[in-house]
Chain A
Amino acid sequence: MYSPKVMDHFQNPRNVGELADADAMGKAASSTCGDILRLYLKFKDGRVVQSTFKTFGCGAAIAMSSVLTEIVVGKTADELKAVTNVQVAEALGGLPPIKMHCSVLAEEALKSALEDLAQRNRSAA
């Protein structure tokens, strides 16, 4: 039921783990299925240079988290704001309709990370 790209990211997830010196951490939990995603972002000169994840969830949720850590690299905070769940799903070659909520989880984790970043910037200022 999954595309080869989903299976590839599920079998070889990129960037698994915590990022000790992350500049932002995003959390999302799905009310639909109970899956949980944590996303870590590290910035340099205003752009993401590294991103990692930890996920409790189905194959789609893990693949989605993995591809998200690739999508975000090189982007500024403003550019990240424009990333949508549909884009993330498309990066995986599409998802079965019933699994689209997993991509929403990815978008929410990213939004949560951006809020965390803004908060940290405010505290630092």
Chain B
Amino acid sequence: MKTVYFDCNATTPVRPEVFEAMRPFLSADGEYGNPSSLHTVGQRAHAALEAAREKVAALLGAADASEIVFTSSGTEADNMAIVGAAFAHRERGRHIVTSAVEHHAVLHTCEYLEKEHGFQVTRLPVDRQGRVSAEDLKRAIRPDTILVSIMAANNEIGTIEPTAELGAVCREKRILFHTDAVQAAGKMSLDLKNSPVDMAAISGHKIYAPKGIGALYIRRGVRLHALLHGGAHEKNRRAGTENVPGAAALGAACDLARREMPKEEPRIRALRDRLEKGILSGVPAVFLNGHPTERLGNTTNLTFEYVEGESLVLALDQAGFALKKSDLPGVEVSTGSACASGLLEPSHVLKAIGVPPEHIHGSVRFSLGHFNSDKDVDSALEIIPAAVDRLRKMSPLWEDRAPSPSGKG
């Protein structure tokens, strides 16, 4: 039984086209060369690496492929941007501005600079929909601010940040602006050459390339310290023999994303909308977390009141069993509930948008992608109401709930 995979913001399967693009670089009789070598097989690897770089640059709308540096992950790209910029510009100041809803790759990197290197970090609040305001950013900027890092789109709720506006504020004040575009890339069009963005991080495995490859866009002229020291790879910006198969895969994935976006974005959005509307109308006591419109087309984050998220994730995963219908597929999703986190901490994103703890407890993120179909949404709309109902019947809070005026629960 094929599962219904609605966790594409966590990771995506490698697309067959992407797998084929990297295959030659993984076989002993293929393109195993080191791009730094002068011989033929090395130069072919070098050419493949540069071709991949062009494709990444095209998806991001970079002015030049040389503005792309391959990394091991989106996390490394965020680290490189933030630590690299902080170290390169610390003589000008030690103040960094970020937001409360960033991914941990940004938040914990800023925290590290704060704790270990004497930087000061301002974390901007967000509104109920998860948006940072340019006014708040203006107020937070100080004479010693050297870097602002605000994500392009949020991984948990999908809210799209006003990066053009925020970047413009930074440009006016001559402050570097980095954006974590890990969730945005491939899901919305980006045009970095015409945007006030100095650095942008992306990750391969969110866009149908394998884990272990990412990239950082660094606008020409932006000075960063390297995190990894060694050979002259990536124009001295990131030492370590390049991950040629990974880069080839990322290039292929970016190329597919760029070419298919005009058709795929609306298709996935329509599936997401049907799923969301179906749940909101078919299950009582559910509401949306995040922005109704300024949101990635693939993401919906819903709170199911009176249900705990981890148990709902497990129940949906084992839907056939739990609902005594072996022909039902499992539905794979994720939750912001503390019970599902390694540190028993509820989602910092939902907390920041003002969702009360009991509602974070019942939050579930559905994130769709390329491999989802109408059939998946049909299955999910059959499974979800039944799974929620089953857990609610076990919940003492459901029996005790105050009756709502609509009588819907």
Tell me whether A58 and B337 are in contact (CB under 8 A): yes
Q: Interface size (B, Cβ < 8 Å)? A: 25
In the complex, chain A residues whose CB is within 8 Å of the CB of B344: 32-33, 98, 101
Q: What are the 8 closest A-B residue pairs judged by CB atoms, nearest first?
A: A58-B339, A58-B310, A54-B396, A56-B395, A59-B314, A38-B396, A56-B397, A57-B308
Least CB distance, A105 to chain B, in whole angstroms: 11
Contact with A along B384-409 (1 / 0, CB 8 A): 00000000011111110000000000
In the complex, chain A residues whose CB is within 8 Å of the CB of B308: 35, 56-58, 61
In the assembled complex, B322 has its CB within 8 A of some CB on chain A: yes
Least CB distance, B333 to chain A, in whole angstroms: 14
Least CB distance, B261 to chain A, in whole angstroms: 36
| Closest partner residue, chain A, to B394 (CB atom) | A16
Q: Report the bound CA distance from A26 to B396 in whole Å.
A: 12
Which residue in A11, A34, A35, A55 is a CB contact (below 8 Å) of B318? A11
Tell me whether A13 and B394 are in contact (CB under 8 A): yes
Tell me whether B397 and A58 are in contact (CB under 8 A): no
| Closest partner residue, chain B, to A59 (CB atom) | B314
Q: Report the bound CA distance from A38 to B318 in whole Å.
A: 25
Tell me whether B395 and A54 are in contact (CB under 8 A): yes
Interface residues of chain A: helix, strand, loop or mixed (majority): mixed
Residues of B within 8 A of A (CB): 306-308, 310-311, 314, 318, 321-322, 337-340, 342, 344, 357-358, 361, 393-399
In the complex, chain B residues whose CB is within 8 Å of the CB of A106: none
Q: Report the bound CA distance from A101 to B338 in whole Å.
A: 13
Evaluate whether A54 and B399 lie within 8 angstroms (CB atoms) in the complex, with A11-B322, A33-B338 already known.
Answer: yes
Q: Report the bound CA distance from A121 to B63 in whole Å.
A: 81
Could you list 20 further interchain pairs (A-B, Cβ under 8 angstroms) beyond the known A10-B311, A36-B396, A58-B311? Answer: A7-B314, A7-B318, A10-B314, A11-B318, A13-B394, A35-B339, A54-B396, A54-B399, A55-B394, A55-B395, A56-B395, A56-B396, A56-B398, A57-B308, A58-B337, A59-B310, A61-B308, A61-B311, A98-B342, A98-B344
Q: Report the bound CA distance from A56 to B397 in whole Å.
A: 7
Interface residues of A in 4-55 (CB under 8 A from B): 7, 10-11, 13, 16, 18, 32-38, 54-55
Least CB distance, B340 to chain A, in whole angstroms: 7
In the complex, chain A residues whose CB is within 8 Å of the CB of B361: 34
Contact with B along A51-80 (1 / 0, CB 8 A): 000111111111000000000000000000
Contact with B along A78-111 (1 / 0, CB 8 A): 0000000000000000000010010000000000
In the complex, chain B residues whose CB is within 8 Å of the CB of A7: 314, 318
In the complex, chain B residues whose CB is within 8 Å of the CB of A33: 338-339, 344
Tell me whether B393 and A16 are in contact (CB under 8 A): yes
In the complex, chain A residues whose CB is within 8 Å of the CB of B394: 13, 16, 54-56, 62
| Closest partner residue, chain A, to B393 (CB atom) | A16
Q: Report the bound CA distance from A98 to B167 in whole Å.
A: 41
| Closest partner residue, chain A, to B321 (CB atom) | A11
In the complex, chain B residues whose CB is within 8 Å of the CB of A58: 308, 310-311, 337, 339-340
In the complex, chain B residues whose CB is within 8 Å of the CB of A16: 393-394
Least CB distance, A116 to chain B, in whole angstroms: 15
In the complex, chain A residues whose CB is within 8 Å of the CB of B310: 58-59
Q: Report the bound CA distance from A62 to B321 in whole Å.
A: 16
What are 12 A-B interface contacts by the 8 Å CB criterion?
A: A10-B314, A13-B394, A16-B393, A34-B338, A35-B308, A38-B396, A56-B307, A56-B398, A57-B339, A61-B308, A61-B339, A62-B394
| Closest partner residue, chain B, to A65 (CB atom) | B394
Q: Report the bound CA distance from A33 to B341 in whole Å.
A: 10
Of A13, A37, A55, A57, most buried by chain B (CB within 10 Å of CB) is A57
Q: Report the bound CA distance from A11 to B344 in whole Å.
A: 23
In the complex, chain B residues whose CB is within 8 Å of the CB of A34: 338, 357-358, 361
